[in-house]
Structure 1
């Protein structure tokens, strides 16, 4: 059954066609849901993509409230999801794209953070109406779609209360703080290692959203600014 669910999710993503919730209806618990997630990402790897990191989800109260769940989850990042800073995201291949500001860490083989950068993550639930239960979002690889990272810099002593702005076409649409990410985004590093079990040198860790996600409309230019860390931007095409 898990392979069938993974195939349905993969087809939904490839064709940009929403599907009903599947994991919660099948009665999957979190462990079984992560099995489906692994099989889903394996289908991307079989098409030539490679793993380049992990992402945490639901690390802020705003995000938990937005999707109606209350547990930190994780997903897998592949090189097929990467978008260069300042380049474009093809929204025509997505179902209901949304975007959020994040903090990214660069990891070594032991799972230590060696650098930090501002980031933008594009999320895209494959479910109709962007509604899902916890198991549904886990099997859907935590809604991962694309991400962009700004310039890396050494991790400063304090990243626990940095101001965060999310701008769309030069207008501020969300204001937040890195404190929204588990109280301190550095906690996401140990949390991510605990959840994923292993990392590789050079992997990226997306620590989670500092604000609620906003819809990503075609033609929009979106920029995240993180106090002391810099900025990163993408344009939706």
Structure 2
């Protein structure tokens, strides 16, 4: 079995069993291309078990996170239907290793979008926008990883919750965003923290997917990226995100 297949199997097993693994380093570190290949192989295992591709998520969409990892570009991962959490639903904390929640804005695609496009062209392909929460869960020990590690680990994708859909004509460029835990505000941010405007995350998604021979399809969900720091999750939490003009969405942990 190749190095990439071994890594994909290890990451998939870690996600299934909620057990962490060491990051790859030194001679074992992945190039960006190798990391995306591992990600694809890992997702193939999910699809073979009956999961379906639901869309994509963008990562490192804030300048601060780019600087922290030492890169100047965003990264992307895949979402499956098994990752979706019903609005107002529950997740079992013990199904994850060290999960965290992030406030986001999501796009639901209305038509195909591929390659290099402008923000206006990207938004013209959107059916609706909604408030969202992403649940991230690195499969690496102590939530520590390099760029290749996190790409291979499907950019820490673990779950997502979507709120009500709204018209894509709604201005989402500088909307206040809150992340609350048990009714207390834990993080405050703005949608402008997502590459200056969430539509730019969609532009990046279209361009980056094209380099892998992929395109956004009607019905695909695209998570634009986190607007604030992530909040660690513990059992018994009620987590809620509010976005000005888009409403709120929440879930609970047990």
TM-score band w.r.t. shorter chain: over 0.9
* Aligned counterparts, 1:64-75, within 5 A: 64=66, 68-70=69-71, 71-75=73-77
The equivalent residue for 1:13 is 15
Task: Report what 1:227 is aligned to.
Answer: 244
Match of 2:50 in 1: 48
Q: Is the 1:174–1:212 Cα contact (8 Å) retained in structure 2?
A: yes
* Structure with greater proportional strand content: 1
Distance 1:212 1:24, change over 3 A: farther
Q: Say how many residue pairs are matched.
A: 236
Report the TM-score when normalising by structure 2: 0.89
Residue of structure 1 equivalent to 2:163: 150
Range 181-190 or range 21-30, more displaced:
21-30
**Higher mean displacement: 67-76 or 170-179:** 67-76
Tell me the C-alpha RMSD between the 2 structures.
Answer: 1.4
Contact 2:111-2:126 at 8 Å conserved across structures: no
From 136, 151, 154, the counterpart of 1:138: 151
TM-score (structure 1 length as normaliser): 0.96
- Render the CA deviation track for 1:124-171: whole Å, top value 9, x for unaligned: 000001000000000000000000000001023421110000000000
Structure 2 unaligned segments of length 5 or more: list them: 114-124
Greater CA drift, 137-146 or 70-79: 70-79
Does structure 2 retain, via aligned residues, the 8 Å contact 1:60–1:209? yes
Alignment of 1:94-173 (within 5 A): 94-111=96-113, 112-173=125-186
SS in 2 for 1:209: coil
Asked whether the equivalents of residues 162 and 249 of structure 2 are also in contact (C-alpha less than 8 Å), the reply is yes
CA contact (8 A) 1:17 1:95 kept: yes
SS in 1 for 2:224: strand
2:199 to 175, 182, 186: 186
